[in-house]
């Protein structure tokens, strides 16, 4: 009969997650959504606390002596929005000024977009000592732009990321927030 016992749906970036969820529920198939939007009713979900993780990442950079920290996120991304909120909370709690010119938004989470965004930041000659990249892939692009500039990681610029994917195994090794 090939009946399905249940479905695990990864709905991270799906614009039709509500529609799919409704369809599956109407079929009376057990459903768990991984990293779903938080506005779904009666659906079991496994979520990452993006705001808390970003807060911890920023707090670590502050603890290591950084006061001018770049937030490297993505335009129109709920995940990035929450990670930026965590970053801002850490700055506020540690009584550091939030500088709008250090809050950057690339077009995507890709290393190429992050590279171009950080490359433009270096051209502006703004003073900063650390970058909080909203994903490991973005951190790779930030690392490439930093190394191309002739700077050393972490001696000149510290970089911390979020996700702990295979990308964190780069050289120099990437410091990243683990997502279980």
pLDDT single digits (tens) 30-54? 888 887 655 666 788 888 899 999 9
Tokens of residue 28, six digits: 């009376």
pLDDT single digits (tens) 98-131? 899 999 999 999 999 999 999 999 999 999 999 9
Residue indicated by tokens 């502050």: 62
Task: Tell me the CA distances in angstroms from 29 to 23, 24, 47, one per residue in order.
Answer: 10, 6, 21
Could you tell me the pTM of the whole model?
A: 0.84
């Amino acid at each position: 009969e090939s009946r399905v016992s249940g479905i695990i749906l990864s709905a991270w970036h799906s614009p039709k997650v509500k529609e799919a969820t409704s369809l599956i529920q109407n079929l009376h198939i057990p459903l768990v959504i991984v990293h779903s939007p938080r506005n779904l009713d009666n659906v079991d979900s496994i979520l990452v606390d993006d705001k808390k993780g970003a807060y911890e990442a920023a707090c670590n950079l502050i603890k290591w002596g950084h006061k001018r920290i770049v937030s490297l996120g993505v335009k129109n991304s709920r995940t990035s929005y929450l990670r930026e909120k965590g970053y801002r909370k850490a700055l506020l709690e540690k009584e550091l000024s939030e500088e709008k010119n250090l809050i950057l938004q690339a077009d995507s989470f890709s290393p190429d977009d992050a590279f171009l965004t950080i490359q433009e930041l270096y051209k502006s000659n703004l003073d900063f000592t650390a970058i909080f990249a909203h994903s490991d892939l973005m951190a790779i692009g930030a690392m490439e732009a930093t190394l191309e500039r002739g700077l050393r990681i972490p001696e000149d610029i510290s970089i911390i990321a979020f996700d702990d994917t295979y990308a964190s195994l780069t050289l120099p090794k990437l410091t990243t927030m683990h997502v279980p």
